[in-house]
A and B are shown apart, each in its own frame.
Chain A
Amino acid sequence: MNDVASKVLTGDPRSIARLITLVENSSPEAASTMKDIHPHTGNAHVIGITGVMGGGKSTLICEITREYRKQGKTVGIIAIDPTSPFSGGALLGDRVRMVKLAMDEGVFIRSMGTRGMLGGLTSAVYDVVEILDASGKDVVIVETVGVGQAEVDVIKVADTTLVVLVPGLGDSIQTIKAGVMEIADIYIINKADRPGVDQAVAEVESLVDIECSNRDRKIPVLTTSAKNGKGIVALVDEIKKHKEYLKKSKEFDVQRRKRYEGELVEIIRKRLMNFIFDESKFKDKVELLIDQIFKKEMDPYTAADEILGKILK
């Protein structure tokens, strides 16, 4: 086992942070360390938190984490914000809502940009979950970017997915649309100190009644007011119950296999994309093909065959 891997396993923050940077940059050095730590993963409960922007996800995570700390559990947090499609830069501001956790040695927070991914996550998120898990964190929380309706990738990585809503987002037709409104293991109506909370709860409840009529678990709908710390204990308790349900129903392993599938696909995708678009000889070829497509000397399908033919043969 290499030095970085063994330090990550002891929970050393600097080694954890360094390794995260390496996986984020798809550095070749990261792969051997990731191989070393994989056997030491699988213990952390991975919680995904998604929902509209400005819904209070970061504040909620801060309060949930404080509750876990009271219970003596250690927590790793991955806070994802969008990367600019124009500059490639990002403003990662979730920590502003988590100041109360800044000096707690039992908490490790990492802010990440999406770096081109569209499903609400970032490509390296699977690796970062593994790293925080291997470092001994009891709970790993993944905060997606603020989502609209269709960013549902978080279910691939999380054991338990929380969808955070706020009062006043729309009528019942919004709640029966496909996408984000299908992925919750627990619904949360946050900002419950605001008007309209009863209607929001009623609408989500009626959705749940229909969706869960033939399931053995009814999806709970909870209300929280994260800034006042209200409803947090009940929420953490409900998250625990969901894990117990997963274990009892054998869904837990199904969920984990889904994560490894996501991770595997992501590693292959990244390597293929790098191979096609970054390796010097292919990059020139791709540019040449785009020229030909542009001049109508070739069509995009034939061009794709040419590139993929080189890899697949």
Chain B
Amino acid sequence: MERKIRVLVAKPGLDGHDRGAKIVARALRNAGMEVIYTGLHQTADMIVETAVQEDVDVIGLSLLSGAHMTLFRDITKLLKDKDMRDVLVVGGGVIPEEDVPVLKKAGVAGVFGPGTRTEDIVDFIRKNVKP
């Protein structure tokens, strides 16, 4: 039986712009993945708890409010604390170039800014999810 890639698409913090997240969610669905969408205004704790219950392979974070340096890192830290190192974390939104290396060091494996082709996100997930 084939194993399906499960992705949690989440919007952390106070940010009401979810069009991008929904477009990515749809692209992942069309690529044969199971996408769990949880809606707006999620806390880091909520996102990690949902990731546990849904046993996802990937957490995709979308943030346009500028709070990514805090919220993305809160989430990767919580995942480390819970020893969930096998979950791939990717992020997208309005993220300045200079923040990308810092986020990567903190455990955000892929950062996708404005103008990213959805195919690139799909490929990245397929290549980096542990079988």
Contacts and interface: CB of A to CB of B under 8 A. Distances in A.
Interface of A: 13-14, 16-18, 20-21, 25-27, 83-84, 86-93, 95-96, 99, 102-103, 108-111, 113, 115, 274, 278
Interface of B: 1-4, 6, 25-26, 28-39, 41-43, 45-46, 49-50, 52-55
For the complex of A and B, the 10 pairs showing the least CB-CB separation, nearest first, are: A89-B29, A17-B55, A96-B39, A26-B1, A88-B32, A102-B46, A89-B32, A21-B55, A95-B38, A92-B36
Nearest to A84: B29
Nearest to B29: A89
A110 B54 contact: yes
Given A92-B36, A96-B37, A99-B39, A87 B55 contact: no
A84 B129 CA distance: 22
B46 A87 contact: no
Contacts of B43: 103
Given A89-B32, A91-B25, A93-B36, 15 more contacts: A17-B54, A21-B6, A25-B2, A89-B4, A89-B28, A89-B33, A90-B29, A90-B35, A91-B29, A93-B37, A99-B39, A99-B46, A102-B42, A102-B49, A103-B46
Contacts of A21: 6, 55
Given A26-B1, A96-B37, A17 B31 contact: no
Nearest to B22: A91
A113 B3 CA distance: 13
Contact of A90 (B34, B41, B49): B34
B1 A274 contact: yes
Nearest to B38: A95
B53 A88 contact: no
A262 B29 CA distance: 29
Nearest to A28: B1
Nearest to B39: A96
Contacts of B31: 87, 89
Interface centre among A83, A93, A111 (most CB of B within 10 A): A111
22 contacts: A17-B55, A21-B6, A25-B3, A86-B30, A87-B31, A87-B32, A88-B32, A89-B4, A89-B29, A89-B34, A91-B25, A93-B36, A93-B37, A95-B39, A96-B39, A99-B38, A99-B39, A99-B46, A102-B42, A102-B49, A110-B54, A111-B34
A113 B34 contact: yes
Nearest to A18: B55
Given A17-B54, A109-B53, A25 B35 contact: no
Contacts of B1: 25-27, 274, 278
B49 A103 contact: yes
A108 B54 CA distance: 9
B38 A91 contact: no
Given A92-B35, A93-B37, A278-B1, A87 B52 contact: no
Contacts of A20: 55
Contacts of B42: 99, 102
A70 to B, nearest CB: 21
A95 B36 contact: yes
A94 to B, nearest CB: 9
Nearest to A108: B53
B54 A87 contact: no
A108 B35 CA distance: 18
B56 to A, nearest CB: 9
Contacts of A99: 38-39, 41-42, 46
A14 B26 CA distance: 27
B52 A14 contact: yes
A25 B39 CA distance: 26
A13 B52 contact: yes
Given A87-B31, A90-B29, A93-B37, A17 B52 contact: yes
A13 B43 CA distance: 19
B32 A96 contact: no
